[in-house]
Structure 1
Amino acid sequence: MRFMSFTGIGVAALVLAGCAVTTPMPGTTPTSPATPATPTTLDAASRQIARNVINSEMEKRLPGANVAPYTDCVVNNATTAELIDIAQASRAGAGGTANSVASIVSRPETTQCISSAAQTA
């Protein structure tokens, strides 16, 4: 008899413990705390911000010149991640955008594009 009551209490405890565990309903996914996701796509606003930052960096180095074709070369040879980083750094007011632009300009493809744009200017 004593064994029977301990077994009954154990079963009741397991049943109640099962009620305390949150189980997701079929077709739903559990939500996790909101963490800022790293953007992987470049929206039009961010692209324009990055273009403006690159344009201003080019104007600092080539004052008085029409730098729009050079800016196009830099934008076209930058990765999406680089453009996102430049836009985010600009929005945050952080420095370092000059280094980012300089690293893109130093690539052979970008240098060739800028050289071709300079010859037609």
Structure 2
Amino acid sequence: MRLILSLGALSLALAGCVAPVSTTAPTAPVVNPPPPAAAQPPSNTLDSSTRSVAREVVNREMAKRLPGRNVGPYTDCVMTNASMAELSDIAQRGVNDSSAAASSVAVVVQRPAATQCIAKVAATA
């Protein structure tokens, strides 16, 4: 009888250590998702190597059309009036396809602001 009482007391003591069993479906623990990574804001500047390559391509194209002249000021007009996307395109095309680069430069040169800038440079030269 002592053995039965001892086993009963022992089982009651151990029953307090076990988590109660639920008859409902267990719920998954709530896990907060990580915060979204901060998106990089679009860059407003070209890296210096792309800008440098674009300048070389524009210089080369301007020198073809204005042989013997200092084309630096003319190139400045084109660089100022081209968008970042256009300068990137000019740099890429200048490396891969010079005829495509020439047409890209021509698009910028035909803009009224670029034409006015080039006319001012030509008047002072």
User: Do they fold alike, i.e. is TM over 0.5?
Assistant: yes
Instruction: Render the CA deviation track for 1:48-81: whole Å, top value 9, x for unaligned.
Output: 0000000000000010011110000000000000
| Structure 1 residue 40: Cα displacement | 7.5
In structure 2, runs of 5+ residues without a counterpart are 1-32, 37-42
Compute the displacement of 1:94 (Å).
Answer: 2.1
Q: Could you tell me which residue of structure 1 aligns to residue 71 of structure 2? A: 67
In the aligned structure 1, how far is the partner of 2:59 from the partner of 2:97? 17
- Once the two structures are superposed, the pairs formed by residues 100-111 of structure 1 within 5 Å of their partners are 100-111=104-115
Instruction: Tell me what 1:86 maps to.
Output: 90
Q: Following superposition of structure 1 onto structure 2, how do residues 45-56 of structure 1 map, counting pairs within 5 Å?
A: 45-56=49-60
Structure 1's consecutive aligned runs of 4 or more residues displaced over 2 angstroms after TM superposition are none
Separation (CA, whole Å) in 1 of partners of 2:81 and 2:45: 16
Structure 1 residue runs without a partner (length 5+): 1-23, 30-38
- The structural deviation recorded for 1:41 is 4.7
Relative to the length of structure 1, the TM-score reads 0.66
Aligned length, in residue pairs: 102
Tell me if the contact between 1:58 and 1:67 (Cα under 8 Å) persists in the aligned partners: yes
Equivalent of 1:77 in 54, 75, 81: 81
Counterpart in the other structure of 1:9: none
Matches within 5 A, 1:13-32: none
Give the whole-Å Cα distance in 1 for the aligned partners of 2:75 and 2:45: 20
For 2:90 and 2:105, the matched residues in 1 are separated by 8
CA distance in 2, matches of 1:106, 1:118: 15
Offset, 1:106:
0.4
Kindly state the Cα deviation for residue 90 of structure 1 after the two structures are TM-superposed: 2.3
Secondary structure of the corresponding residue to residue 97 of structure 2: coil
**Contact conserved, 1:40 with 1:81, CA < 8 A, in 2?**
no
State the alpha-carbon separation in 2 of the partners of residues 40 and 72 from structure 1.
Answer: 18
**RMSD over aligned Cα atoms:** 3.1
Alpha-carbon offset, residue 119 of structure 1: 1.1
